[in-house]
């Protein structure tokens, strides 16, 4: 029997493309306004990966290379790469394979994980188990999405919400508890409200699927909003209760960045002061699997050893969850 280890995030890095798409830019493409987008979502601008030769794996590699250079970890030491994404470069090979090759992780095992906006949280939980079980020592979890590749820029309800980006963390064994607990959920009966129906085995690409715009993300925003507000707060409350935490014990809430109103409602239910909520939705919009690690990267300098974090997400599937972790450095 192998020894069970504590696991912590030992480093984090984010990568976003340079090109900015502002609310004003969008108002020239669809019937919308900076005022509507700002008040309904909190988003001011998002990043877009414009170079057609670049894809999700390249953004993931951008984040991972930063992670490796700041930690001095040799790519050959990486045991496992889990890539959370709904916009893989292609259906196969997996994006994890492409990433491993590009970063020179010659000894790594890896796979993609599909859980939409909860992808990073699910992958983080999964990756941590490989370390707590004593199997591996260095696991990279990366959340990356090139949402602009599946967005219909004539659908004003959806195109204003999403952006491109990537964020990665290094997981390692630690002396003290880092990742402490998680509550993860799926409910496939919500699948129809947020989906991309074509390009898989049910509706392979055809002239019809293209005509019907089925290679784009579809969202029934109102319905998803209702579920997101309730479910994200439910799991956050559940994880706090079962770990005997009150709002004051939590140093940071790290919520998925889909809508500022959902984030505010979650913080309120958890009785967490808004000064302790990581929010960067105004800069990046919803980058799907990348939102949580991009928050961690933006706040890294403010995080102190022993800080208690609650990570929370909700997304297509439906998928949702919360994680309680203590920052170690």
CB-nearer residue toward ligand UT7: 129 or 195: 195
CB-nearer residue toward ligand UT7: 156 or 185: 156
CB-nearer residue toward ligand UT7: 129 or 269: 269
Least separation in angstroms between CB 227 and ligand UT7: 8
CB-nearer residue toward ligand UT7: 36 or 109: 36
User: Which residue of the set 5, 256, 259, 280 is catalytic?
Assistant: 256
User: Cα–Cα distances in Å, from 106 out to 50, 68, 76, 117, 275?
Assistant: 29, 14, 6, 29, 42
- Per the annotation, the verdict on 137 as an active-site residue is no
* Contact between residue 282 and residue 320 where contact means Cβ atoms under 8 Å apart: no
Least separation in angstroms between CB 221 and ligand UT7: 3
Name the site residues for ligand UT7 (rule: CB under 6 A).
32, 36-37, 40-41, 117, 156-157, 160, 221-222, 224-225, 228, 258-259, 262, 286, 314-315
Least separation in angstroms between CB 319 and ligand UT7: 9
CB-nearer residue toward ligand UT7: 36 or 111: 36
Least separation in angstroms between CB 109 and ligand UT7: 29
Measured distance CA(292)–CA(118) in Å, rounded: 9
- Per the annotation, the verdict on 286 as an active-site residue is yes
Least separation in angstroms between CB 210 and ligand UT7: 24
CB-nearer residue toward ligand UT7: 65 or 157: 157
Least separation in angstroms between CB 252 and ligand UT7: 20
CB-nearer residue toward ligand UT7: 11 or 312: 312
- Per the annotation, the verdict on 256 as an active-site residue is yes
Least separation in angstroms between CB 177 and ligand UT7: 29
How big is the chain by its Cα radius of gyration, in Å? 19
User: Which residue of the set 83, 117, 159, 295 is catalytic?
Assistant: 117
User: Cα–Cα distances in Å, from 230 out to 113, 165, 272, 313?
Assistant: 25, 27, 16, 11
Measured distance CA(97)–CA(102) in Å, rounded: 9
User: Which residue of the set 97, 159, 286, 295 is catalytic?
Assistant: 286
Q: Which residue is nearest to ligand UT7 (CB)?
A: 221
* Contact between residue 166 and residue 63 where contact means Cβ atoms under 8 Å apart: yes
Q: At what angle do helices 291-299 and 119-132 cross, to 10 degrees?
A: 70
Q: Which residues are catalytic?
A: 117, 256, 286
């Amino acid at each position: 029997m192998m020894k069970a280890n504590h696991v912590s995030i030992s480093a984090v890095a984010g990568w976003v493309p340079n090109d900015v798409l502002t609310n004003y830019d969008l108002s020239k493409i669809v019937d919308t306004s900076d005022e509507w987008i700002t008040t309904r979502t909190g988003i001011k601008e998002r990043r877009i990966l414009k170079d057609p030769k670049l894809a999700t794996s390249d953004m993931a590699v951008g984040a991972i290379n930063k992670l490796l250079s700041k930690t001095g970890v040799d790519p050959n030491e990486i045991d496992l790469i889990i890539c959370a994404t709904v916009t893989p470069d292609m259906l196969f090979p997996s994006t994890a394979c492409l990433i491993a090759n590009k970063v020179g992780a010659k000894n790594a095992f890896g796979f993609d994980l599909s859980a939409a906006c909860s992808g990073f949280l699910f992958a983080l939980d999964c990756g941590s188990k490989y370390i707590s079980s004593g199997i591996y020592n260095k696991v990279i979890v990366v959340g990356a999405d090139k949402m602009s590749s599946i967005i219909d820029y004539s659908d004003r309800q959806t195109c204003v919400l999403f952006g491109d980006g990537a964020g990665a963390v290094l997981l390692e064994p630690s002396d003290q508890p880092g990742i402490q607990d998680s509550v993860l959920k799926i409910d496939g009966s919500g699948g129809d409200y947020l989906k991309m129906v074509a390009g898989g085995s049910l509706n392979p690409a055809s002239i019809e699927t293209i005509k019907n715009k089925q290679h784009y993300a579809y969202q029934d925003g109102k319905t998803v909003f209702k579920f997101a507000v309730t479910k994200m707060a439910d799991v956050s409350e559940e994880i706090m209760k079962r770990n005997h935490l009150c709002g004051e014990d939590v140093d940071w809430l790290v919520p998925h960045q889909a809508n500022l109103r959902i984030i505010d409602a979650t913080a309120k239910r958890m009785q967490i002061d808004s000064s302790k909520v990581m929010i960067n939705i105004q800069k990046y919009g919803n980058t799907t699997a990348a939102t949580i690690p991009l928050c961690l990267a933006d706040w890294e300098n403010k995080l102190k050893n022993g800080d208690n974090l609650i990570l929370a997400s909700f997304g297509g599937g439906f998928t949702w969850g919360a994680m309680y972790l203590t920052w170690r450095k």
